[in-house]
Chain A
């Protein structure tokens, strides 16, 4: 299912498909947020914002607003 990272639920994982929005900071890409990489939502603060992610082993937190620019494809739960 194609959606944005902002819609991921805690514990779910997905594959990043597109990060071409020019509002996504370069720093985020440099930390590994690139198409093809797997992302897991580790934890959310109240109101699901910010979001604590594990992108290919890189642990970082971003705001929901940024997450909504990152397109993903959810991985079905085994």
Chain B
């Protein structure tokens, strides 16, 4: 077997680190989570010269080794633990040629851990444009490293980087800075207490704000003779250390880098003048949002209709082609309709992720944060809450994870608590199918009623989120220091490859993640709907035939009656009817009740569930929508899905907390059961009340 080395990609956010990762690994990558936490772990394989294989980890972007978030914590945790199976044989620090000075801070810190480190200077294609020139030989010498000058945009320098990585043994591990100089006595004590440890490593453990390494720190604190530093003292030392690092970097860059400002052309200034403008900035942001929503609904309706029809045909085909029996009916009535319920909204998910990826990659998202901070603060949120609230329209789970860079705990908590109100993509299929059923197709001012309803539902979602943030801000008594630092990266044309990879990977993990649950639930539902206890179910044939003996029913009608009698007395029917009294005032029948209950696993299950329930004992070839339209209200007569029950159902889905995965994430991120349980109870109770009022008023 060929030798495999561990390579860690490290760098500030916005340096194109992920592009370097994509360039090195191509499609040879997989994304998972770090065990126990929800930080994304990206890794891939890259073939190096001379048969060496590199296992590459793309670590979360960080500005320094002084972690202030869970994501950043992952970086230090790995770099401090020599026993980790992913501990790098070589660290590759990715920097942006335009922000070299700031990016080098992290580089000097990594060097000081005495890990072999290569410096990648990315975006070399921008140098001419910015009037920057570098003396690579001088910098290599001064920084004591190997430098790869690359451009992921132009795909230049990647081979050279691979070459450098494969020569990892020749890379120096000499530190850049002598940290001990910032307080000689203190470090002398430290050295005496732990003679075998790397001092900079100890220093990092001592100064970390996050929970990381508590045991280690306690061990250090236990040694009495230098437990002399207060928090404020430590911070002063960290300041001193930072200044020292910048002195070193400035010295290196003074000779190693020349910037001819007369050559620099700055698009940023011109764009920022408009995009962050007090009036135009907001206007443009509004237009972008409108465009995104419009695009998502218009563009994806075609593939969605196609997929819906396809699955209906597939189900029909299976039924006709395979010999009839339990397996065939499981396949055609359970699995295929269930899967159809998820595949159908791949187009929309993909579009949504596409837009979010483009906004992030282009650097525009930071401008939105800047524009919105003051407004959001009125509601107890942060400008950074905009990103979770926007990506919450795709899925609340990544959105809640995206709150991690909100520095103030109170603002972060409120963002986490209200994000599930935004209309996530899982609600979309529910809305779409109900809108199609109960909202007429007419137009007003050139806008369709159906599109307007959908838009309104999104506004309700956002409005509720903002309003509850305002209330929470008044109620919650948490004092936390607010600080807010956002980098305003340069505008970049998003790299096609990065955007595509993000869209594919996010959509894939969404479909497979949700797909598993939906598949399992479809099978369980099919079973529960196809079998039942006792006389009523098992002798359905007899019972119905006797009951309707006097009436002259056609064979078809009789079969229909038998099928629905069976369904009513199946396991699922019994359960459904047990909960029916609770949901009847909202205008739902027991089948919708089952769909709502199973939605608590994940909302998108709703359509799949109805598809499964309605297809059991239903021989008509039909799309999900046609089947739903044919349902009759058992109490009132007439169609089950009326304007009143439809609106009631949509409002219920708008407000109810029906996503176990979101609850699990909230528990993880807030580190307490209190918040997710409160979310579940309050949101669902609110949903019930609103749906009740809506139905009673409209019916």
Contact = CB atoms under 8 A, between A and B. Distances in A.
Nearest to A19: B239
Interface residues of A, number: 33
Contacts of B243: 34-35
Contact of B102 (A20, A32, A49): A32
A27 B485 contact: yes
Nearest to B407: A25
A45 B373 contact: yes
Given A30-B64, A57-B101, A59-B489, A50 B484 contact: yes
Interface string A8-40: 000000000001101111111111101100000
A76 B373 CA distance: 31
A30 B487 contact: no
B277 to A, nearest CB: 8
A23 B488 contact: no
B600 interface: no
Nearest to B231: A22
Nearest to B12: A31
A4 to B, nearest CB: 16
Interface string B233-246: 00110110011001
B343 interface: no
Given A26-B239, A29-B239, A31-B102, A45 B482 contact: no
A45 B485 contact: no
A73 B631 CA distance: 75
Contacts of A47: 374
Contact of B483 (A25, A31, A49): A25
Contact of B272 (A27, A31, A34, A42): A42
B485 A34 contact: no
Given A52-B276, A52-B488, A58-B102, A34 B483 contact: no
A20 B243 CA distance: 12
A63 B382 CA distance: 11
B484 A63 contact: yes
A28 B485 contact: yes
Contact of A31 (B232, B366, B482, B487): B487
Contacts, number: 111
Nearest to A63: B484
B68 A60 contact: no
Interface residues of B toward A: which range? 35 or more
B485 A43 contact: no
A56 interface: yes
B484 A62 contact: yes
A66 interface: yes
A52 B370 contact: yes
Given A30-B63, A47-B374, A52-B272, A22 B487 contact: no
Contact of B63 (A24, A31, A49, A52): A31
Nearest to B98: A57
B689 interface: no
A62 B485 CA distance: 5
A67 B242 CA distance: 19
B66 A30 contact: yes
Contacts of B242: 26, 29-30, 34
Given A31-B487, A63-B482, A22 B370 contact: no
B77 to A, nearest CB: 19
A58 B99 contact: yes
A42 B105 CA distance: 24
Interface of B: 63-64, 66, 68, 98-99, 101-102, 105, 232, 235-236, 238-239, 242-243, 246, 268-269, 272-273, 276, 278, 366, 369-371, 373-374, 383, 407, 481-490
Given A26-B68, A58-B102, 18 more contacts: A23-B481, A26-B66, A27-B63, A27-B68, A29-B239, A42-B488, A43-B276, A46-B278, A50-B484, A50-B486, A52-B488, A57-B99, A57-B102, A59-B268, A59-B489, A60-B486, A63-B482, A63-B483
* Top-10 shortest CB links A-B: A59-B488, A61-B486, A25-B483, A30-B64, A61-B370, A63-B484, A43-B276, A58-B102, A50-B373, A29-B242
15 contacts: A25-B68, A27-B485, A28-B485, A29-B239, A31-B485, A32-B246, A43-B370, A46-B278, A46-B374, A50-B383, A57-B98, A57-B101, A60-B485, A61-B485, A61-B488
